[in-house]
Amino acid sequence: MRIGVVTFWWTDDNYGQLLQAYGLQMVLREMGHEPFIIKYDRRSDVDHSLKARIHILKDILLLRCSIKKIINRKNEFAENDLRNFSMFRDRYLNFSKLYTTYEELKTDPPLADVYIVGSDQVWHFPSKSFYKLKNWANVYFLNFGSESIKRMSYAASFSLNDISTDFCKFITPLLKRFSLVTVRETSGIPICEKCLVKSPLLALDPTLLLTTNQWKSLALDISYPSNMLLCYLLGNQCAISFDEIYNFSLKYDWNIKYIASQGQKATYDAITPSIEEFLSLVSSAKFVITNSFHGTVFSIIFNVSFLVIPLCGEFQSMNDRIFTLLKIFRLEDRIYSTTEDFYNQLQMNINWESVNSILSERRKEMLDLLNSHINI
């Protein structure tokens, strides 16, 4: 079957975004299907009505966006390009033609037997943003194409604890057209039920559907120091600063490799690995310290000891994706606690035999679920 996937794909520095897209595409190919990413570039597709403009103005005032931050992000573009993400997309991902607006997609939708939305935070629509982003919502809730096309979500993420009444009213009739609704976090289950979805399911991130050996075959064959501490941080407020992590690594004479991503300011020497190098770094590390969902995922896949630094402030609701993941594998003790010794937490043993057994079982469940619903 031809399967069109709606997901994020355009990043210059988010490793997880491209790895989850790659993971789902590979799984669907192995099932014998012809998957492709519907190449919707949402970045300029916003509602310019008066109502939307009022909400945009409110967003600016509430978020207190600084000009300095915008300039910093633009200055980082040249550095991000060193990661060769465009090369990865060209080499490994299959795309439809480019769509820059919902109207284009609605007028000339790609031919497919099945549309799948997910994974990643494709359903993340904060209340204050919804009015200007209805075009996005129409796309990510698959409101295009023939009624005869099967629609489903796979590990879609709201990355919110709740949604507004208006948003719920908007997406409820769209979700009724889905033959399968799966989400990535436990917080997404009651949100779906609020929108009258019957029996929404919790799904593994698509990166977890490929085996360790499959990911290792994609990684570069590079040797790293045996005492390497890999620190992979996204640019969100955390429970501990990088200064503290860096000083900690010096104290124990560990060789630190630091990947800064998604607005994380590189005040120390940071590396900008390609995706293949990123996989090699994680698989070779003695320890991984991260605030990233996919940093955590690949630590689990490669059986590398890790510690998760929770997000704070306005990003706190995004922790649920990691907490859900850790609960599945009974690894809640890998969440950094300010009341416990950092070194002791990192050194705590992990029962990888149990983790791998759970992963193998859950992977089979997810593959069977996908396969059965696609082929109904």
Q: Give the tens place of pLDDT for each residue, 297-350.
A: 999 999 999 999 988 777 777 788 999 999 999 999 999 998 888 889 999 999
Residue 297 has which token pair?
């995922």
pTM summary value: 0.90
Q: What is the mean pLDDT of residues 273-278?
A: 97
Q: What is the mean pLDDT of residues 355-360?
A: 99
pLDDT, one tens digit per residue, over 155-179 is 999 988 899 999 999 999 999 999 9
Q: pLDDT at position 367, please?
A: 98
Q: What is the mean pLDDT of residues 132-150?
A: 95
Q: pLDDT at position 56, please?
A: 46
Q: pLDDT at position 250, please?
A: 85
User: What is d(CA 220, CA 279) in angstroms, rounded to the nearest whole number?
Assistant: 8
Could you give the C-alpha distances from 179 to 123, 271, 367, in angstroms and in order?
17, 43, 16
Neighbours of 68 (CB within 10 A): 8
Edge-first strand order for the sheet with 228-234 is: 255-261, 228-234, 287-290, 305-308
Residue pair 142/171 in contact (Cβ under 8 Å)? The answer is no
Q: What is the mean pLDDT of residues 207-229?
A: 96
Q: pLDDT at position 244, please?
A: 85
Which of 258, 154, 256, 137 is CA-nearest to residue 201? 154
pLDDT, one tens digit per residue, over 26-63 is 999 999 999 999 999 998 887 655 444 444 445 444 44
Q: pLDDT at position 171, please?
A: 97
Q: What is the mean pLDDT of residues 127-135?
A: 78
Using the structure block, give the residue that is written with the tokens 């597709």. 45
Which of 263, 205, 229, 227 is CA-nearest to residue 24? 205
Q: pLDDT at position 33, please?
A: 98
Which of 176, 119, 168 is CA-nearest to residue 151? 176
Kindly list the structural domains of the chain, giving each domain's residue range(s) and its CATH number in brackets, ordered by start.
Answer: 2-209+360-374 (3.40.50), 212-358 (3.40.50)
Flag the least confident range among 27-41, 195-209, 256-270: 256-270
Q: pLDDT at position 64, please?
A: 47
User: What is d(CA 288, CA 281) in angstroms, rounded to the nearest whole number?
Assistant: 10
Q: pLDDT at position 263, please?
A: 55
Residue 277 has pLDDT above 90, yes or no: yes
Q: What is the mean pLDDT of residues 211-239?
A: 91
